[in-house]
Structures are given as structure tokens and as C-alpha cells.
Amino acid sequence: MKLAIVLCAMVALSECLVRVPLVKHKTIREDMEERGAWEDFRRIFPFNPMAKFDQSLTGAEQMTNDADLAYYGVISIGTPPQSFKVVFDTGSANLWVPSVYCSSPACGNHQKFDPSKSTTFTSLGKGLSIQYGTGSMEGSLGTDNVEVGGLTVTKQEFGYSQYEASFMYYMKADGILGLAYKNIAVEGITPVFDNMVSEGIIHNNYFSVYLSRSPATGSEVVFGGYDPEHYNGNLKWIPLSSETYWQITMQSITINGKVVACASGCQAIVDTGTSLIVGGEVNNLNTAVGTSNGVVECASIGSLPEVTFNINGYAFTLPPSTYVRQTSSGCYTGFENSFSNGVGNGLWILGDVFMREYYTVFNMRDNFVGFAALR
């Protein structure tokens, strides 16, 4: 073909025709129809998958990795804006930040919201109390303008703390922005993401999370879109089993094809606000990978087995380089017993250890999560 093109350049165009045979391939639709996947695709994904790149439809917020403990980004509240670092937490549904009325040590080294300095703030005259797995906060409720990723939600209800448990003292983030369903929002508050949709700020009722393997930079949450540049292959869609947390059903957890946990199936939540993988059978899992109570000889990481989470007919595998944490005091698996984390009811939590391997799309309109392996 290259030779034919060169010869054409040497003669009159009318005297040179290069005939290229056309081969008709199956369309994507035809291929998916043959595999019985087209209707599911249409139902789940009728929107424009490139919407992320239309900045009028989406908002992207860069996140920082806080020592693999949490990922946070910067938002602003009020007029003029007051800036705060918040954890984007799919395991809760409320937004709150410290306030000038908080005297707890945990508030002392964080930015504090001052209602008197915002011309758009309104007090709701009632309190707020939220219990997390690692502690709690108490405060009051108000409304104000909230800017996230270049998008502004007006009159957003949020909490401003007057007391914070010590767990926040060690966090670089000032507060928490919940991204779970309204059903679990304390005081029935409408979450930030829901208001983005209802106010027409974004056109697609889904958001995506990329947790970079980098120690600090590169991570992001995208509201109303997702970025195919971050992952390989296609997203694998998992239906939710409960529209509270982002809760799904796991069939089993296996190593080399052998079931080591969740043998009869179990429930799991996909939680950006939990740094580890948490479950009631973690002792079995740690034993199965060949560790003693999760303690690993750092020199032996490469010889540990892969761990596979079987979900909705898909296998999501974590290599040891992903699930082992290397710290200054030694190496440990990223698996924690749920009872030491304050989480019961047999729920597993697929936290950041899992999501650093899999790009995640949270589809609230159709109640699915989508996973794809990171590049």
C-alpha cells in the first residue's frame, strides 16, 4: 500500500486509482446482542461515556493520599469562600467541617468554619451527631453554598462541629464529605451529590473515583463522568444489594482457586473512607496467605499468593504488592478484622487497598458499581 501511494503521487490523480477492499465487521451493538449484553448496556449506560471531558457537565476534584490512611480534596463553603480539606467518603452521607465553636484537640490543628464571616450562611437551629467506626462528631446544622470541583451547590445543608473525637486529630483532612445514599444520612439531610443532580449542575447521576498508586498525587473524584485513561478494558458492572451504603454481594474470597473466606457468600460495601479491607474472617485470610496475625517478613512479599474477590461472576485479584503495607516499623497485610474496626453485621469493606487496583464508578441512577483494572 505504501508503494502504491508513492506511485500515485508521481502521476495524474485521474490515472491512478488504488482500490482498497472494504471488509464489514460486526458493530459493537451486533457483537453485544449476540452475547446477550446489549439490553443491559443500554439500561445501565445510555449516557455519553465521554461526558467527563465536557466541563459544563462534570466536575473533577484532585485528591491527595494521606499516608494511605485517607484521600482528601479541597472544597469551599460560604461567601466569601472558606476552604477545607475533606475526605470523599462513600461509606457515609453527610458533609461536615470543624467550626470556630469547637474546642476539642482534634479541631485545634484544622481549618474552622466561621458562620459569621459568610453572607450566605443560614443556621437551621438544630444539632447533628454522627458515629463512625473510629469515633464521632457533634455539632450544629446550617446551609450555605458549597463548591466542589468547580461546581457550586447552593443552600447545601451541612454540619459544623463543636466536638470531635480524637481520630480526626491525626488526619490531614479537616472534615468529611459523604457520598453514600440519602437513606443513611443523619437527620435526613440531602447529600451534596444528590443536590448536584437535582440542581442540574451535572447531567449524569454517577461519579467515579481514581485512587492513584502514587504516594501523594494523581488521585481524583469526578462528578458526572469518568476517565477511561485511568483503566484497562471494560468496566464490570455489579448490581447493588442495598441502596444505603454502596453494598454488593460477594460470592467468595479465594487463593489459588481455594475458598478461604466468604464461603457461603457475603455482603460487602465499597468504601473510599476505609483505608483497609475489613471483614469478620480476616484471621482466616491472613492465615491463608501465610502470615502470622497479618505480620509479613518484608523480604518475602514477592512470594505471597494473590487474593481473589469473586463478585457477580467476575474475579478481582490483588497481588501481594497491593495488599501488603510497608511501614517504617515493618510490613503488614491490609486486612483487618471487622470487630476491631467497630463494623459488625458480617459486612466486609472493600476499602482503599482494593480500590488502588480498580477504578470505580458509582452509578446511583441504576444502582450499580463498576470496576476496571487500573493502568
Residue 233 and residue 126: Cα distance in Å, rounded?
Answer: 48
Closest to 260 measured CA to CA, from 228, 283, 244: 283
The sign of the dihedral angle between the CA atoms of 34, 250, 351, 204 is positive
Q: Where are the beta strands (DSSP E) in 165-257?
A: 175-178, 206-210, 219-223, 236-239, 242-243, 246-250, 252-255
Residue 305 and residue 197: Cα distance in Å, rounded?
Answer: 43
- What Cα–Cα distance (Å) separates residue 11 from each residue in 15, 17, 18, 127, 286? 7, 11, 12, 84, 73
To the query of whether residue 89 is one of the catalytic residues in this protein, the response is yes
- Give the active site residue among 89, 144, 174, 194: 89
- What Cα–Cα distance (Å) separates residue 144 from each residue in 29, 129, 141, 175, 187? 46, 19, 10, 16, 17
Is the distance from CB of 168 to CB of 135 less than 8 angstroms? yes
Is the distance from CB of 348 to CB of 279 less than 8 angstroms? yes
Q: Which residue has the cell 485521474?
A: 14
To the query of whether residue 66 is one of the catalytic residues in this protein, the response is no
Own/partner pairs, 279-283, CB within 8 angstroms, 24+ separation: 279/335, 279/337, 279/338, 279/347, 279/348, 279/349, 280/337, 280/338, 280/339, 280/346, 280/348, 281/253, 282/335, 282/336, 282/337, 282/338, 283/337
Tell me the three state secondary structure of residue 20: coil
- Give the active site residue among 144, 174, 194, 271: 271
Residue numbers annotated as active site:
89, 271
